[in-house]
Amino acid sequence: MWAAVFPGQGSQHVGMGRFLFENFKSTQLLFEEASDSISTDFKKLCFEGPEEILTLTENTQPALLLVSTATHKAFSETCGDSLKAVAGHSIGEYAAAVAAGSLKFSDGIKAVKLRGQAMQSAVPVGTGAMLAVLGLEDEQVKKICKWAEVESKDAPLEPANFNSPGQVVISGKKTVTDWLKNNFKAEILNPPAKRTKFIELKVSAPFHCSLMKPAEEQMKKVLTGVPFEKAQLPIVQNFDAKETVDGDAIREKLIRQVSAPVLWTQCINRMKEMGLQNLIELGPGQVLSGLTKKIDSAHFKSFNITSLDDIKNLEKNIKNDR
């Protein structure tokens, strides 16, 4: 069975969506609708950048929703209604809600613009940070976050993205992330950690931790007035890694995921339990396909759409699978 996953922040790049715009009328109409909705020239933003403007959170989030939705439309027009479930990583969950028929695209594009602004303004620039932690198990990451808070007498530092086994992103105050990088000792874990690596991420705010509570409150106000219909496909959501079709529940989990960790490994494992085997990454980049391979390469086949040929090949694969 086939499912779609929609990428999050970090997958954006200048030029994304261009081949869709050149080949699909539906993409041109979506670009026009998005540009009119929030007074942004998305053609210029996505195709020309510059990168530093595209990577501003308030621009990245609507741009990703736009290109991911355009990719889904192009896929559906070519391959038909072959999906049995959807999921999205962080901001990608909005594209999943649009694809599942729960959220209108025009409502979504306005909401994610405000989400980007709310998350950016939740903490002063430079006071938060995110670190990718490589080489530790999930429980070990939780332990070192607590240890760093106690020993540094500062907080918060919390798991933000459970991306794959051995790759967890943590988020919090920059003073605590800096302290952890400088003071971490393998011996604090039992058994001691052998190969642990910390990589500071280039982000403008500490996403998916308790510092985002002000942004969560703002999104509650924004989304309370937005209609969410019953989804036509189950959405496996970041907040609890459970499939959801009820509109009110989808809205509530979208609100709560702003300051909660993204349970991506758990979402992919849940999709396995649901009998899904073929995951198509609908949106720019191949980040989620890479994570899927790390989570369970024996079970899943991953597919990307980065060209017209990719869509044609998918069409053949899906026909052969029927």
| Residues annotated as catalytic (active site), given as ranges | 90, 208
Nearest-CA neighbor of 184 among 235, 141, 236, 240?
Answer: 141
CA quadruple 101, 103, 107, 113: dihedral, nearest 10: -120
**Residue 28 CA: distances (Å) to CA of 92, 97, 108, 180:** 21, 21, 18, 47
Q: Spell out a b/e string for 204-215, using b for 16 or more CB atoms within 10 Å of the CB, else e.
A: bbbbbbebbeeb
**Residue 114 CA: distances (Å) to CA of 1, 59, 62, 221:** 35, 10, 9, 11
> What stretch of H or E contains 170?
strand 167-173
Encoded tokens for 94: 């909005």
| Residue type for position 129 | A
Encoded tokens for 181: 């990088």
- 15 vs 28: CA distance, rounded Å: 15
CA 231 to chain centre: 19
CA quadruple 6, 8, 11, 14: dihedral, nearest 10: 100
